[in-house]
Structure 1
Amino acid sequence: MELTGTILQGPDLEPLEGRVVVGEDGRIEAIEETVVDSEDIILPAFVNAHTHVGDSIAKEAGGGLSLEELVAPPDGLKHRLLRAASHEELVDAVRTSLEYMERGGTVACFDFREGGVGGVEVLRAAAEGQAIDAYAFARESLEAMEAGDGFGASGANDDTFDREREATRAASKPFAIHAGEGDPSDLDPALDLEPEFLIHVVHPEPDHLERIEEQAVPVVLCPRSNLVTGVGFPPVEDLLERTTLALGTDNVMLNSPSMFREMEFLAKLSDVPAREILKMATVNGADLLGLEYGALEVGRVGRVLVLDGDSPNLSGVRDPVRAVVRRAGVDDVERVVFAE
C-alpha cells in the first residue's frame, strides 16, 4: 500500500512531502521524500487515552448537575442509568461510539469500564468485528481487571487501591487512576501508587508537579470534560514542562468522542503549540501502552490517518500541523488505515 502527500512523520511529526509504503505484513516499509501529485495530509491515527463509552446510553443527560451528581459511584446519574440498561442496550450504545471513533480516525481507546466483569464483556461484544482497539481498564473488582486489560481506579479518596495496584503488577497490566480532578487532595495518594498514568490533574500544587516530574508519570488531559463539569482547566503548560501528556475525551455522556474537537478546544484555550497537541492525540497516547503503532516510522505498524488536503475545509492551508489541530474534522477524513 502506498500513500502520498504531506507526511507528518517521526515522533515529532515533522512534515515531509513524499510517500509512505505499508507492506503486506502491516508494517511501514518506507517513508521517502519525493515530489508527489497529492494534497493529502498523512499522519498517525488518533489514540483516545481516556474514555467512558458506557455513557453512550446517556448522551447529554443530566444537564446542570454537578460532577458528583453526574458520575460519582454508586448513585450518580450515569451509574443509575447503567444499572437500568440491559446488556443488549449497552452493547448497541457502545458500538455506535466505537464506530464514530473509527470514522474519525481513532484506532485505539483506553476505556474505564464500569460494571465489573460484565462491563468488560460489554466492551468486548461492542468491539467485535470492528477495527478499533478498545482497551478495558476495568473497575470494581480484581476479577474484572483479570478479564480486562488493566485497572482504572476512580480516585484515591474513594479507596486505597493497594490491593488492585499489586494485582496489576503481578498480572503485568497497567494501572491508571483519576487524580486532581475536583481538588488536589487525592494527588499524593494517587502518586504513591506509582500508576502508569494519571487522568485529569486539574489542580496540582507545586509539590505535585515536582513529584509527577520526579516519578515520570504521564498525564491524560480531558479539557472539554473538565469545563463541562465545572472543575476548571488543567495547567497544561506547567504539566507539559514536566511530563508526557496525552488526550482523552472522557464521558460520552458529556462530550462526543472526537479527537478533532478535543484538539481544537485545547488549542484555542491555551498557548500550547499545535505540534505538542497533535502529539498528545497520537504518538503520546500510543506510547502510554507501548503500542506497536503510533509515530510513522519504518518498522512500526501502519495505523495511519489520511486527510483530504484539498477538501473545502483544508484546501490552501499553509501549516498542515496547525490545520489538523485547529481546523480539520471528520468530514476531511479520506481514509483510515487499520494495519494489524
Structure 2
Amino acid sequence: MKSYKNANVFYGKNLELVKGKTILVDQGRIQGITDEQFENSIDLHGDYVIPAFVNAHCHLGDTGAKELGVGLTLEEAVVYPNGLKHKYLAKITSEELTEAVRDGLKEMLKNGIILAADYREGGLAGIQAVRQAQKGLPIHVMELGRPALTNADSTEEEFEKEIRSILEVSDGFGMGQIYAVSKERMKKIRSLCGDKIFSIHIAEGRSDCEKSKREYNQSEVERAAELETDFMVHLTHTDDHDKELLVKKKIPIVCCPRTNLILGDGFPELDIFTRFGITWGLGSDNMMFTSPDLFREMDTASRVIRGLGEKPDCMDFRECLKAATWSGAKSLKQDSELGSIEEGKLASFLAIRSGSWNLKHSHNVISSIVHRVGPEDIDYFLADGTEVIRKGEFLFE
C-alpha cells in the first residue's frame, strides 16, 4: 500500500475541500482518506488534489494534422466525406495513424487526463489502430466507432455485419451527424448497441439545425432523443424546448468550447444548461484544432460564457471543474469508477503543486485551478494507482 500525506483534497462529486488528509492507495484504488500519517508516506506538502480529468469527447485520429484546417468552416474541415480531415485520414498509412495517436495519448497523459472518449473514424480498422497505440499507456480510452460503409455502398446485410464487428471491439458508437446514415440504419445501430454507448454530434452547426427543422419539422435534439441517445455532443444551437427535453429524458451532454470557437460555430449556453440542471461535461474535440488540455478548456468555458452574457456571476466556477471530471465521467457511464475522489474508486487524481505561482496569494483555489493552473503545475498524477507524473516529471516519454 502507498500513502500520500499532507493532501488538501477536493472530495466527492461536489468537490468539497478537506484539508491535511492522507490518501491510501492499494491495488489501484483509493482505500481510505484519513487524518492519520504514516512513516513512509509520500509528502505532498499541502498540494491540492483533484480528480484526474475526463476528456469526454475527442478525435485522436487527426492528431497528425494539427493546424491543417485552421480558418476553414466546420463543413470544409471535418464533415464527412469531403472535409479536409477525411482526405487526410484517407491518405495516411495505418502505421502513421497509430504513431500519431500514440503521441496524442501521451499528450493527454501529460495534461492529467485519465479517460478519453474517442470518436473513431475508419470503421473496424480505425478502432484497431487506436487499440494498438494505447498499449502500455495507463489511460482509459473509450472507443466509439462509426461505420465505414454508407447508405449508398452497402446492402442491409453488409451494413449490419459491419456494425456487429465494430461492437465486438468497441465501447459503442459515436456518430458524426444525425444525417450520417438513414433513419432506419441509425435505429439499427441504436438497437444493436444495447447497453454500450450510443451518441451523436448534435446541434453543432447552424445550417444542420435549420435543415432538421425544414425537412423533419423537428430539432436535431428532438430527433436524437427519439433514438434514446446516451449523450449528445456540442449542443451549440439549442432552444428552451430542447433543454427541457434533455432534462425530461435525463440526457447528459458534452461541450467543446474551444473547437466551437475556432470553427466559428458559436458557443454552448453553459450557464443556462447549468440553470436547467443538465449534466454537461467537457471535451477537447479534434486534435487537429485543439490541444487536449482541460485546464485551458475550463478557462475558456468560464471566461467566454461570462463575457457573452455580461454576467460575471452567471455560474459557479466549481461547475467548470466538475464538468472536466465527474460530469464527463457521468456522461460516459464511468462515474462509479472515475471522476471524483472517494473511497473505493480508482486511484486517479492530480496533485496540484501548492507552491505554484498560479496558486500563490489565491483567495479562491477553485477559481485559480479553473483560470490559472496548467499542466506545468501538476506535481503528481496517479492513473489507477500508477504514477504518471512524479514531482513534476512525466514518466512515460
Q: Which residue of 2 aligns with 1:196?
A: 230
What is the count of residue pairs matched by the alignment?
338
- SS state of the match for residue 361, structure 2? coil
Q: Which residue of 1 aligns with 2:88?
A: 81
Tell me how far 1:46 sits from its aligned partner: 0.2
TM-score scaled by structure 2? 0.82
Q: Is the 8 A contact 2:202 2:233 kept in 1?
A: yes
Aligned counterparts, 1:138-157, within 5 A: 138-140=145-147, 141-142=162-163, 143-157=165-179
Q: Is the 8 A contact 2:56 2:332 kept in 1?
A: no
Q: Which residue of 1 aligns with 2:262?
A: 228
- SS state of the match for residue 291, structure 2? coil
Tell me how far 1:230 sits from its aligned partner: 0.9
Instruction: List runs of 5+ in structure 2 lacking aligned partners.
Output: 38-42, 148-161, 213-219, 306-313, 386-397
Q: Which residue of 2 aligns with 1:305?
A: 350
- Give me the whole-angstrom Cα distance separating, in 1, the residues matched to 2:329 and 2:352: 20
- SS state of the match for residue 54, structure 1? helix
- Asked if residue 338 in structure 1 is aligned to residue 338 in structure 2, the reply is no
- SS state of the match for residue 45, structure 2? coil
Aligned counterpart for 1:163 among listed residues 171, 188, 196? 188
- Give me the whole-angstrom Cα distance separating, in 1, the residues matched to 2:238 and 2:127: 31
Q: Is the 8 A contact 2:254 2:331 kept in 1?
A: no
Q: Which residue of 2 aligns with 1:177?
A: 200
Q: Which residue of 2 aligns with 1:219?
A: 253
Calculate percent identity across the aligned residue pairs: 35
- Asked if residue 132 in structure 1 is aligned to residue 139 in structure 2, the reply is yes
Q: Which residue of 2 aligns with 1:243?
A: 278
Q: Which residue of 2 aligns with 1:19?
A: 21
Q: Which residue of 2 aligns with 1:60?
A: 67
- Asked if residue 264 in structure 1 is aligned to residue 299 in structure 2, the reply is yes
Q: Is the 8 A contact 2:20 2:46 kept in 1?
A: no
RMSD of the TM alignment (CA)? 1.6
Moved more, 183-192 or 255-264: 183-192
Q: Is the 8 A contact 2:127 2:145 kept in 1?
A: yes
Q: Name the aligned partner's letter for residue 3 of structure 2.
A: E
Tell me how far 1:115 sits from its aligned partner: 0.6
Q: Name the aligned partner's letter for residue 200 of structure 2.
A: I
Q: Which residue of 2 aligns with 1:9?
A: 11
Q: Which residue of 2 aligns with 1:90?
A: 97
Tell me how far 1:207 sits from its aligned partner: 1.5
TM-score scaled by structure 1? 0.95
Q: Residues 88 and 37 (structure 1 numbering): CA distance in 2 closer, same or farther, change over 3 Å?
A: closer
- Give me the whole-angstrom Cα distance separating, in 2, the residues matched to 1:289 and 1:207: 24
Q: Name the aligned partner's letter for residue 293 of structure 1.
A: L
- Asked if residue 322 in structure 1 is aligned to residue 364 in structure 2, the reply is no
Tell me how far 1:316 sits from its aligned partner: 2.8
Q: Name the aligned partner's letter for residue 162 of structure 1.
A: K
Q: Name the aligned partner's letter for residue 197 of structure 2.
A: P
Tell me how far 1:34 sits from its aligned partner: 7.7
Tell me how far 1:121 sits from its aligned partner: 0.8
- SS state of the match for residue 166, structure 1? helix
Tell me how far 1:40 sits from its aligned partner: 0.6
Q: Residues 165 and 32 (structure 1 numbering): CA distance in 2 closer, same or farther, change over 3 Å?
A: same
